[in-house]
Structure 1
């Protein structure tokens, strides 16, 4: 297993040095695809695994820059043509023996954070810090992807002792909960019997494993555009329709939405952009916000309140508006069969010294969209947390995690796969 750890670290550090934000992960996708082919997997890219019409929260400029970066790094034109402007990759391995279809999902994107460039920061000191300015693996997705690729090698090496088929899903754009929906809508998990998902660190330290995290918050990420009419603010203010005023009024009302009495509810306005000059009535305002709820029903309540307020403020200021969903995730209930199995197999992973049955997750994660799709189609899913000590909070410039815990995650996945593949069918 020491060889696996060395390989995991090399993979993780290669990925860490070339971070890419959601829907621009062309270099990362090519790296994954080439490794999967080495390990005997069939690869699927682009619109074979992503429903383009459900993609949100991206822009053509970012995609073009991502493609150019991949070209400059030597990614083959064949792979880029297969991607066709869409990132993400799925590898499939068939054992050609009857059995279940087991899928594992790994997120591949980074966040728009500038990585700390001082000797106190381990990735900088060791020379594997970000080479993509303004972008950083500050959430552990590089570790997740490394584990997924190592599992691909392990599955290939152990294919003779396994049954059924395996899907390794490398999902783009988890940040902002944007990538799972287009994959789910493509139907790539509709035949899956078991879907396994996990995260490093977050709510757990090295040696811990949270078997059944609680309170995955359902969420919608929204963009609202108000369109008014510009006018001279001194000579003809009566001819203007102030989009900024409508957005500001909406902001105050949105933050005052009554919280739901049946569980956690959240709202945040994260960005508001409008106007160009002090003497011009702003004719456009763009707002980015999110709502969250402990259940899908509570989140729907928050979303409906948002729609009501935006409509009312637009009417008051005589401006037009458009609301678009830029990302989404569901609440989650792990399946009991997989909860029990995970609780059993971690006894065979000595690095897990402190198993935790329940702990509050308290955030949103779009793997829930894929898990819910599997559950709706009759399959089962689970999302768990493998603890890893970290240097700071997720999404911070000095973030780093205990690399040894990648091997722990790898071992847990291997144990789960062996039990699920070799059970009676």
Structure 2
């Protein structure tokens, strides 16, 4: 057990919960992190030093401008915003000054598109820390993740003399939609890492359970398809128009009918469709927001290729012009045995915790891209689940989690650092 104060962890978590921000717009959140970390005495990197612009997905000028405007309204210093250079997230570096391994830890910081409930029984409403940003909510626990990262940073500053090597604490933007992991990985910030550790609160485990080796991390590709036709009067000249709505709808139904793969889990979904200008106008524009997932890269590639073939074929048959844009990607992950065994041993020392060896994750996680980068460079990686009882499921308006598990997570990371970096 560490000496990290649970009250401080809760205070940080609630501060972040009040000001949720969508991926690539987390300027206020990033500023708060940088200010807090530098006040602790840590080196902090931000902007292009930790984000490779060439690999950014799903970042629009409108999204960035909204986040910058919010940050300025919140009093964020202009010099700090200039340092970020339009990019969110940061990396804190603790250097013991002694030879030893480099360990990278990752915590995501963005929120989801959910309007938080106004219910009186909802603890954030009752205790005064509900979201102040309409349509934005920390409904996935990333506010807790950011708090955990700060707790580890504080412990390192106060106790780091006992360690060797270096720790990089990554506060990653834009996890939702699988958009931020790759630009962080491609920045090279983890290329010297010997170990990578990441985690999620709640999800597939209740309080007291630690899933030390979750499996079935699904690869994923998320794509926006835009179909362009021609408008016309629906009564007088329908023959002049080219109906993009019809093409988009046809593509959607065909995508949902893609044959599933026989070698493992595969998924496809069309989550958004937008089209049309008016009741009496032949629609000139249609947009699909779609995704596929696969148990491994081969399956995911198959699903993505099928999705693109359908879009291209539909555009050709309906005489439409097609644009497609990858909005996010994620990869699978197999945890390294050494770290699974290390974490299992740490969990077993705490009688209040139970180590669950395997449980299906059943979804995609942006941290896997960073984790696999470390593995490809010869390092070892693990992603685990810290169970937390939930008031409602992730991405729901009533979501809230057992805040006591913030300290559980901090203690597990600290125990891992002590084992990997002991003098």
Q: TM-score range by the shorter chain?
A: over 0.9
1:261 aligns with 2:229: no
Residue matched to 2:350: 349
The match for 1:214 is 215
Aligned to 1:91: 92
Distance 2:319 2:295 in 1: 35
Q: Which runs of 5+ in 1 are unaligned?
A: none
Equivalent-residue separation in structure 2 for 1:35 and 1:347 (angstroms) = 33
Contact residue 218 and residue 331 of structure 1 kept, 8 A: yes
Matches within 5 A, 1:274-293: 274-293=275-294
Q: How much does 1:3 deviate?
A: 5.5
- Shift, 1:347, TM fit: 2.2
Aligned partner of residue 104 in structure 2, secondary structure: strand
Alignment pair present for 1:364 and 2:364:
yes
Looking at structure 1, the residues matched to 350 and 48 of structure 2 have their Cα atoms a distance apart, in angstroms, of: 38
* Alignment-derived partner of residue 13 in structure 1: 14
Q: Deviations over 1:281-307 (max 9, x none)?
A: 211111101100111110000000011
Cα distance in 2 for partners of 1:148, 1:61 equals: 29
Q: CA deviation at 1:72?
A: 1.3
Give per-residue Cα distances to partners, 1:13-37, cap 9 Å, x unaligned: 1111111111110000001101111
Partner Cα distance (1:185, 1:378) in 2: 16
Question: Equivalents in 2 of 1:394, 1:343: separation in Å?
Answer: 26
- How many residues align? The count is 422
Do the aligned partners of 1:243 and 1:282 also contact (CA within 8 Å) in 2?
A: yes
* Alpha carbons 1:180, 1:370 under 8 Å: kept: yes
CA distance in 1, matches of 2:142, 2:158: 24
> CA-to-partner distance for each residue in 1:154-187, whole Å, 9 max, x for gaps?
0111121111111000001111111101111111
In 2, are the aligned partners of 1:171 and 1:180 still within 8 Å (CA)?
A: yes
Q: Which residue of 1 aligns with 2:392?
A: 392
For residues 196-275 of structure 1, the aligned pairs below 5 Å read: 196-275=197-276
TM-score by length of 1: 0.97
RMSD of the TM alignment (CA)? 1.1
Does the residue aligned with 1:302 lie in a helix, a strand or coil? helix
- Are residue 134 (structure 1) and residue 135 (structure 2) matched? yes
Match of 1:48 in 2: 49
CA shift, 1:318, in A, is 0.8
Report deviation, 1:206: 0.4
Please give the secondary structure, in 1, of the residue aligned with 2:125: helix
Paired residue for 1:28?
29
Give, in angstroms, the shift of residue 2 of structure 1: 6.8
Aligned residues of 1:351 and 1:408 also touching (Cα < 8 A):
no
SS of residue in 2 equivalent to 1:186: coil
1:160 aligned partner = 161
8 Å CA contact retained: 2:4, 2:155: no
For 2:24, what is the secondary structure of its paired residue?
coil
The corresponding residue for 2:315 is 314
TM-score (norm 2): 0.98
User: Which runs of 5 or more structure 2 residues have no equivalent in the other structure?
Assistant: none
